Copies of this chain bind each other. A is one copy, B any other.
Amino acid sequence: MERDADRKPEGGDRPYSSALCRLRAAGLRPTQQRLGLAKILFETGDRHVTAEALHTEAQAARLRVSLATVYNTLHQFTDAGLLRQVVVDSGRTYFDTNTGDHHHFYFEGDGTLADICGDGIEVLGLPAVPGGNMVSRVDVIVRVRAGAPKS
């Protein structure tokens, strides 16, 4: 479990150093709101957030940021490869801090997501892609609802 945040024990709390690195690497100017949002997004393991939820969370953390900026930032992070969009529900867009190869459980009851590590997953029997095209991604979504599997 890597922790970029505390490689050097030189101050005790440097909660923004990891976020700062990410922004620099992405060529995004490290502003207050981008730093703040990056901190929220990337400092607690893999997350799945909506813009609205992140905005609420930011306000709770006393970060002054508008919903418009949350949307902007989420898209900039996505373009920079820091986030990935997950489509499981029309009308709501989720952003995933895990950009690696993986898939998702979607809990229909409460609308939450959980990662399925992509390592062991294999989709067999897919036909060839229609000519002139290439696969940009294969998404596997396991939709789950309350109830015993069979019993």
Binding site for B on A (CB under 8 A): 85, 87-93, 105, 107-108, 114, 116-117, 119-127, 129-130, 132-150
Protomer copies = 2
B120 touches A107 (CB 8 A): no
Chain B nearest CB, measured from A131 CB (Å): 9
Docked pose: A121 CA to B140 CA in angstroms: 12
Given contacts A91-B90, A134-B145, A145-B133, contact A140 B123 (CB under 8 A): yes
Question: Across the two chains, which residue of chain B brings its CB closest to A125?
Answer: B120
Docked pose: A143 CA to B123 CA in angstroms: 14
A133 touches B120 (CB 8 A): no
Docked pose: A92 CA to B129 CA in angstroms: 24
